[in-house]
């Protein structure tokens, strides 16, 4: 149980375009989802926390107008990178947590590799 999927797994886009990444909890309801960014050989950097039905909370230094997060249902959150630039190229990972179970662990998706040309 506790499977999280991401789509797409890899995406290449041109500079100036927007890209949407989906994160789904497949077998549980995720009251909270998290979006991380990971640079090569580095740790995960938390970008934002989203709770179902409310606005996302962004970490300091993360541009909310550039990284749009929508957590429209208990099983789906989306991250849209708007007007992407080469410096946005990175590995984006989502995680999900079901607060109602009282569990503290987060379940991670397999990640999405974004390359902006």
Partner 1 sequence: GDSVTQMEGPVTLSEEAFLTINCTYTATGYPSLFWYVQYPGEGLQLLLKATKADDKGSNKGFEATYRKETTSFHLEKGSVQVSDSAVYFCGLSSNTGKLIFGQGTTLQVKP
Stretch 15-54 residues interacting with partner 1 (CB under 8 A): 32, 34, 41-44, 46, 49
Among 19, 78, 111, 114, binds partner 1 (CB under 8 A): 111
Residue 88, SS3 per DSSP = helix
Q: Select the span of 12-20, 68-76, 79-87, 92-100 touching partner 1 (CB under 8 A).
A: 92-100
Q: Please state, in angstroms and rounded to a whole number, the distance separating the CA atoms of residues 70 and 89.
A: 21
Q: Does 107 bind partner 1 (CB under 8 A)?
A: yes
The token pair that represents 48 in the structure block: 């934002």
Nearest of 32, 46, 27, 53 to residue 100 by alpha carbon: 32
The residue (of 34 and 81) whose beta carbon lies closer to partner 1 is 34
CB 94 within 8 A of CB 34: yes
Task: Give the residues lining the site for partner 1 (CB under 8 A).
Answer: 4, 6, 32, 34, 41-44, 46, 49, 93, 95, 97, 99, 104-111, 113
């Amino acid at each position: 149980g506790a499977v999280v999927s991401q789509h797409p797994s890899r995406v290449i886009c041109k500079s100036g375009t927007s890209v949407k990444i989906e994160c789904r909890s497949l077998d549980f309801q995720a009251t909270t989802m998290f979006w991380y960014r990971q640079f090569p050989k580095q740790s995960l950097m938390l970008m934002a926390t989203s709770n179902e039905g409310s606005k996302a909370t962004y970490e300091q230094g993360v541009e909310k107008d550039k990284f749009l997060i929508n957590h429209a249902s208990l099983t789906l959150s989306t991250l849209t990178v708007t007007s992407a630039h080469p410096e946005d190229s990175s590995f984006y990972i989502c995680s999900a947590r079901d607060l109602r179970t009282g569990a503290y662990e987060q379940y991670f998706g397999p990640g999405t590799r974004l390359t902006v040309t």
